[in-house]
Amino acid sequence: MTRLWTILVVLALAGCAARPPERDRDDLACPRGVAGTYALVFTTRAPTSDDAKSFKDLSQQGELGFGHVALGLTEVNLALATHYTYSVAPALADGVCAYPSAVAYRLSFADRVVHVAHEFAGEPCLRAAVLEHEMRHVALDDRIFAAEIPRLNAGLAARLDAGRGIWGRDAAEADAALRRRLQEAGAAMVAELGAIRRVEHRQQIDTPEEQQRIRQVCGGRLLQLDTVAAR
């Protein structure tokens, strides 16, 4: 049997959770089976550009680049598609057990957009400086994904507890429980990526030193702009 679904994932921190009671039930009702095959494939793409948004628009999206004003923004959203096949076998008691035979996660950019505030349209030097800053975020993301996707892939079988069966009163219920388990695991991987991104971008790019540098580029022109200095 096969299933496919796609979800849009907002990068966020994952919390820790206790072992849910259904895991114990699954272990009691479903003997361990043969481990399936598991894969996480990431498809990257070059960012697009958008200079249409204002300081106010970008600042409302949550990334502040100069005091309380966002001069630019690198927007990243991920789409996670999951395809899986599974078999169904009788449980040790009532019900059935679903065993995934193959799981393929496909991660890609739903959105990857570099924004520079439209107030810089007539300020070529400042626009270039802000764009250079944002492209550093893009390059760092490329390095993060290149390093983290292989790590996540290597741990995928352990994350999904390879060979474990998922119990249900019937095949439909077992499939639904398996789907939830795979969806939770996929969302947790994306949450890990999000946590890593936030730390690395803050430590490597969005530093106090970078704020000071932006103040000084183009002969300190940024501080001369009323739309910035007034905020």
pLDDT of residue 5: 38
pLDDT of residue 93: 82
pLDDT of residue 159: 96
Q: 230 falls in which pLDDT band (50, 70, 90)?
A: very low
Distance of alpha carbon 126 from the chain centroid: 30
Question: Whole-prediction pTM value?
Answer: 0.82
The tens digit of pLDDT for each residue in 180-199 reads 999 999 999 999 999 999 99
Contact between residue 47 and residue 113 where contact means Cβ atoms under 8 Å apart: yes
What percent of the chain is predicted at pLDDT more than 70? 82
The tens digit of pLDDT for each residue in 8-49 reads 443 333 333 344 555 666 778 899 999 999 999 999 999 999
